Structure formats: structure tokens, C-alpha cells
């Protein structure tokens, strides 16, 4: 397809597609002359991925470039793939966690991944909560960790082993971007349900 057809199929303007090409977010099409190139299904999929990362994931152009670079050169190991996914989705601009928080995290007895992007993000979040006057106890963290382990059991599916490295990495990245809001919303829904059961005397239906 021509770039005009790619624009029509994706709903992204030709000018934006050309910007993606210049920024390395979209791979070049097959040249058909000095001013024309053809694009295929891989370009269609890549444009949709870029839009998902920008519109849903709120990633910057620089971060999206990191994602597509990782997708084009994925590590072979499945555990390393997950680390790559977490790394490209890491939080930016957060100060490094304090030594006290890092020690607090290590004391929880979590798997030995202290230097991983995910553990660093958790430590930064704990630091932010502590600085805001909302420290979290070990008991609370372990309760949440147990709940999230059940969630992760559905995420780290055995089927990932049968995927190509690129497909498995895409699954991990896009899966986190698209479902993180769902997990957060489910927490709100659960809070609402429990609050109605415990504190709303008119909520007999929820209590039954």
C-alpha cells in the first residue's frame, strides 16, 4: 500500500507518518522510485503500536523509540524479555530511592531482583509515599504483593515460551500498557464494593 493508504487504514495523517519515519518509529517502506515507497501489514501493525504507546501509555517519542528498538532487537531469554519490557516502561524523572527504602524493600524477602527496573520503580514509589507522610508497613506490602502475584500468574503465561522473542516482548509491553489501567480500576471497584458492604447500611443487596 502507498503511504496515503496507510494513513487511511490507521487514521494517522500522512504528515505524522512521515514524522514517524524520520524519528525511527516506523521502518522504511520498500522503495518504488525516488519519491514512492510501498508499505505492508508490518507497517500497519507498527503504526497501531506507536499510537497505543503514545495515546494510552502516554509515552514520549524518545521512549517509544526505545520500545521499537527493543522490539527490533529483542533478547532471547524469556526472563530477560520481561526485564526489557519493564525497562522501556520505567518511570522517568523520579529521584533515586533512599537507602532506607531500598533496605526496607530488601527486607520483604522478595525475589533477588533488587536491581531490576520493576524493583527500582517500587522503591521509588515507596520513597514518594514516605516523603508524603504515608509510610507503608511490611504487612501491607506483603498483602499487596500476594494479590499481585495472583495477577502476575495470568500475565506470565506459559504460552509466552512458544512465541518468537519479538512477539513475546510485544505481548509484555503492550499487555502492561493496556491492562495497567484495568488493574487500577478493578482496585477502585473492589474498594467501592467493600465500602458498601461495611459502611452503607442500605446496601443489603451487596451484603447478601
- Give the CATH number, domain containing residue 46: 1.10.1660.10
83 & 68 share domain: no
Mean pLDDT in residue range 170-179: 91
Range of the domain at 28: 1-73
Q: Are 111 and 85 in contact (CB under 8 A)?
A: no
Domain count, the chain: 2
CA-closest candidate to residue 78, choices 162, 174, 178: 162
48, 73, 98 — which closes off a domain? 73
73, 102, 125 — which closes off a domain? 73
66 & 84 share domain: no
Tens-digit pLDDT profile for residues 135-171: 888 888 889 988 999 999 999 988 888 999 989 999 9
64 & 101 share domain: no
Distance in angstroms (rounded) separating the CA atoms of residues 201 and 7: 55
Tens-digit pLDDT profile for residues 28-77: 999 887 778 999 999 999 999 999 999 998 899 999 999 999 999 998 88
55 & 83 share domain: no
Q: Which residues contact 183 (CB under 8 A, 6 or more apart)?
A: 151
57 & 94 share domain: no
15 & 69 share domain: yes
CA-closest candidate to residue 151, choices 128, 168, 175: 175
Amino acid at each position: 500500500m502507498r503511504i496515503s493508504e496507510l494513513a487511511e487504514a490507521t487514521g494517522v495523517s500522512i504528515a505524522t507518518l512521515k514524522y514517524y519515519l524520520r524519528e525511527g518509529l516506523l521502518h522504511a517502506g520498500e522503495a518504488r522510485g525516488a519519491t514512492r515507497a510501498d508499505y505492508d501489514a508490518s507497517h500497519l501493525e507498527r503504526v497501531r503500536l506507536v499510537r497505543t504507546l503514545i495515546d494510552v501509555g502516554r509515552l514520549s517519542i524518545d521512549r517509544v523509540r526505545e520500545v521499537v528498538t527493543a522490539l527490533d532487537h529483542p533478547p532471547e531469554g524469556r526472563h530477560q524479555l520481561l526485564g526489557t519490557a519493564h525497562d522501556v516502561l520505567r518511570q522517568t524523572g523520579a529521584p533515586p530511592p533512599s537507602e532506607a527504602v531500598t533496605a526496607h524493600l530488601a527486607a520483604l524477602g522478595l525475589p533477588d531482583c533488587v536491581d531490576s527496573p520493576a524493583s527500582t520503580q517500587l522503591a521509588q514509589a515507596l520513597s514518594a509515599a514516605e516523603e508524603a507522610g504515608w509510610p507503608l508497613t511490611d504487612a501491607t506490602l506483603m498483602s499487596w504483593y500476594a494479590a499481585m502475584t495472583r495477577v502476575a500468574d495470568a500475565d506470565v503465561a506459559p504460552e509466552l515460551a512458544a512465541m518468537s522473542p519479538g512477539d513475546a516482548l510485544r505481548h509484555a509491553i503492550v499487555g502492561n500498557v493496556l491492562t495497567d489501567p484495568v488493574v487500577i480500576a478493578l482496585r477502585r471497584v473492589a474498594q467501592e464494593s467493600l465500602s458498601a458492604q461495611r459502611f452503607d447500611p442500605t446496601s443489603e443487596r451487596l451484603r447478601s
